[in-house]
Structure 1
Amino acid sequence: MAKPIITTAVLFSILSMPAAAQPPAQPTDELVNEARSMVKAFGGSLKQALQAAIQEGGLSNGIGVCNTVAPEIAANTSNEKWTISRTSLKVRNPGNAPTDWQEIQLLAMDKQPMKNGKPVEVWQVSEASGQPGFQYMSAIPTQKLCLGCHGKSIDPEVKAKLEELYPEDEATGFSEGDLRGAFVVTRQTQGVSD
């Protein structure tokens, strides 16, 4: 049986055909900039709410804000295309446990959470089934403000509040500058800004 012969002209013609009914992909730079913007909005709102709660009623009051207000801020910052959340190698809330990809990134970030004075960030674009089309992570280095609830020496009243609100808490024992976790921004599809 004779094998079909594909000439260079036919091969070039096949390779140059446009992809059927697929919108052009949104440039990665735009996706990264949108993710950074969401992290800035979420992180800024959360820090402001935490500082106000701590000033009003101490660290125990701040824990309550983290428990109830942080998810609300994340929901308000997210939209129909984008989702923002937080994760860590040592989570306070088991619902924030990292995916396999996120865990790999956290392990790498743990070695160097800051680079050139900025939190380390990573992203990936994926067409794999069941995976977000775009994932972005930005390291959350432990700041001095965090140590009262996430540090090595926690006040007994604060510890009691943590045990009450987060019975499965693993998010303690950090020092200033340690990787506390990461902001995670995902987008299911990466088509042009539709």
Structure 2
Amino acid sequence: MRKALTAILMASAFAAPALSQAADQRVEEARALVKSFGGSLKQALKQAIENGGVVNGIAACNTLAPEIAAQNSKGNWHIGRTSLKLRNPDNAPSDWQEMQLQAMDKQPVVNGKPVEVWQVSDAVGQPEFQYMSAIPTQKLCLNCHGSDIKPDVQAKINELYPQDQATGFSEGDLRGAFVVTYRPAED
């Protein structure tokens, strides 16, 4: 029994660097997906606002955000967004995500960079890898997520998101987080 336990512990010790390398690779891939998704979404939103004002931006975000997320979700990877104050109830956080959002809410940016967290799991029903990157509220966001929203903008928000909770933010507040998950192919 003692030999078997020693062999398991030694095997675990040798597997740890491999697990760390795999996790590091997953983190880098997740960061790249966030950069692509976030950049594409911001560009599409800015373009929509330039073409038709903030009301047009809300409509574009309503339809384009899911499309851009789908375009950036490749193979076993899925990307989306979540928040403690949801605009779209389809983006509700899991228990783990909610716990991370609550921690991020205290300080969404550290050393000028959005806070990021990740976990590796072998729990049944859970993604093998989950990554989150804070989305701090930027000045552009305040048009639709701030405290002083114009009536025509609020009317469009009410039309597209009747259960909206995503207002009252100030610049720098945690608006939400990008969520990246990796699930291996089912056998």
Question: TM-score, with normalisation over the residues of structure 1?
Answer: 0.87
Segments of 5+ residues of structure 1 without an aligned counterpart are: 1-5, 19-23
| Structure 2 counterparts to residues 94-113 of structure 1, below 5 A | 94-113=89-108
Hey, what's the Cα distance between the residues in 2 that align with 1:127 and 1:14?
18
Segments of 5+ residues of structure 2 without an aligned counterpart are: 13-17
Is the aligned partner of 1:78 residue 2:61? no
Same amino acid, percent of matched pairs: 67
Hey, what's the Cα distance between the residues in 2 that align with 1:10 and 1:150?
58
CA offsets 1:40-96 (integer angstroms, 9 cap, x no match): 000000000000000110000000111000000000000121000000000000010
What secondary structure is seen at the aligned counterpart in 2 of 1:184? strand
Hey, what's the Cα distance between the residues in 2 that align with 1:121 and 1:32?
10
> Is the CA contact (8 Å cut-off) linking 1:134 and 1:189 kept in structure 2?
no
Is the aligned partner of 1:164 residue 2:163? no
- Cα shift at 1:189: 2.9
- Cα shift at 1:188: 1.1
Is the aligned partner of 1:143 residue 2:138? yes
- Cα shift at 1:132: 0.4
1:154–1:33 distance in 2 versus 1, CA, 3 Å: same
Amino acid paired to 1:53:
A
CA offsets 1:148-186 (integer angstroms, 9 cap, x no match): 000000000000000000000000000000000000000
Amino acid paired to 2:152:
E
Q: Which has the larger radius of gyration?
A: 1
Is the aligned partner of 1:39 residue 2:39? no
Number of residue equivalences: 179
**Equivalent position of 2:15 in the other structure:** none
- Cα shift at 1:10: 5.7
RMSD, matched Cα: 1.9
1:61 to 56, 60, 64: 56
Amino acid paired to 2:131:
Y
Q: Which has the higher helix share?
A: 2
Question: TM-score, with normalisation over the residues of structure 2?
Answer: 0.90
What secondary structure is seen at the aligned counterpart in 2 of 1:86? strand
